[in-house]
Amino acid sequence: MAWRGVHIGQAARIGLKNHQMVVAQEGAETAIPIEDIAYLVLDTPQTTLTGALLIALADAKAVVIQSDARHHPAMMALPFHGHHKQAEIAHLQIETTLPFRKRAWQIIVRSKIDNQKEHLISLGRDVGALPALIGRVKSGDPDNLEAQAARAYWSRLFDNYRRDDDSDLRNAMLNYGYAIIRAGLARAITVAGLIPAFGLHHASISNAFNLADDLIEPFRPSVDALAISLSESAGRTSQKLTLDDRRALAGIMNTPVQMEFETMTLLAATEQCAFSLVRAIREKTPDAIKLPTFLPRSTENVAA
């Protein structure tokens, strides 16, 4: 099973040899077994990849993420064939009813708010009305309690903060980490045989990843916790996203979370989440969807 994320932050030539990805940089080579790779982040335009490598990564169900000149993740490449019953699962997904999708969205929003609450508790901060909001979320969240919870959460998480401020280092960190998890979820969704464009709540006609944008919500607080750790680290001087920041954020998928009674990485959680959604669709039971429970960060749990 793939378990590894690879971040390339400096000029490199990357190819395939003996079913291993070979990264050549500054006269040295590093070989990584293809079957270990879940995602590859190309965080510099100064990389060249062979077609043979791309085919091997697709066969291994790995996702490739390319950053732009500002080091913002800008593109992802997914395997075309994800599951041996892809057509059957896709038909079941398309046939989901509106009540099913609304109930699923209720479960996702409740999970997100609960994880936001747990993150604030781990920081020793007031949770305000978040616990009460969880129980008030109705099917489809018609009252948009997700947005109310977000306002309460961000005001307690950061001082002097606006989520739409592109000049804020914290937002740059959040956006980078969210993009990594979104790509990981897109990979898990395709591997499970689902179509990422068909969401449960998100339904933009221009978004090829509506379903990933649904499922990502409970995963976000894990990125938020890492962004706080990086932005408030002792001795920090740079107010820009550094290579070390990007490497740490690219490793977010190694962060532990809890799925029911088991602790696992975010990467494994994305897979369980996607496959549980397939099961929920088959059984017409939204309650079968598995979502992650936030775990506080510790020195032992910091992503490499």
% of residues, the chain, pLDDT over 70: 96
Question: What is the predicted pLDDT for the residue at 233?
Answer: 87
Measured distance CA(147)–CA(141) in Å, rounded = 10
Question: What is the predicted pLDDT for the residue at 300?
Answer: 40
Measured distance CA(105)–CA(112) in Å, rounded = 10
Question: What is the predicted pLDDT for the residue at 195?
Answer: 93
- Tell me which H or E stretch contains 45: none
Query: CB under 8 Å to 152, separation ≥6 — which residues?
Result: 128, 129, 130, 133
Q: Burial of 80 by CB count in 10 Å (0-12 exposed, 13-18 middle, 19+ buried)?
A: exposed
Neighbours of 92 (CB within 10 A): 16
Query: CB under 8 Å to 199, separation ≥6 — which residues?
Result: 207, 210, 211, 213, 214
pLDDT tens digits, residue range 167-193? 899 999 999 999 999 999 999 999 999
Question: What is the predicted pLDDT for the residue at 78?
Answer: 87
Ordered DSSP codes for 21-39: EEEEETTEEEEEEGGGEEE
Q: Domain 86-288 falls in which CATH fold?
A: Four Helix Bundle (Hemerythrin (Met), subunit A) (1.20.120)
- 3-class secondary structure, 103: helix
Taking Cα atoms as reference points, which of 41, 49, 50 lies closest to residue 71? 41
Strand partners, 15: 22
> CB of 33 within 8 A of CB of 20?
yes
Question: What is the predicted pLDDT for the residue at 166?
Answer: 86
Instruction: Indicate the pairing of strand 47-49 with strand 12-17.
Output: parallel
Domain with CATH 3.100.10.20 in the chain: 4-77
Strand partners, 21: 16, 32
Q: What is the pTM of this model?
A: 0.90
CATH of 4-77, one of 3.40.50.700, 2.60.40.10, 3.40.1110.10, 3.100.10.20: 3.100.10.20
Measured distance CA(104)–CA(280) in Å, rounded = 9
Low pLDDT (below 70) residues in the chain: 1, 81-84, 298-304
Measured distance CA(198)–CA(96) in Å, rounded = 10
> CB of 213 within 8 A of CB of 201?
no
Question: What is the predicted pLDDT for the residue at 85?
Answer: 78
Residue 114 — φ and ψ, nearest 5°? -65, -40
Neighbours of 231 (CB within 10 A): 17
Tokens of 223: 């990125």
Measured distance CA(40)–CA(48) in Å, rounded = 13
Domain with CATH 1.20.120.920 in the chain: 86-288
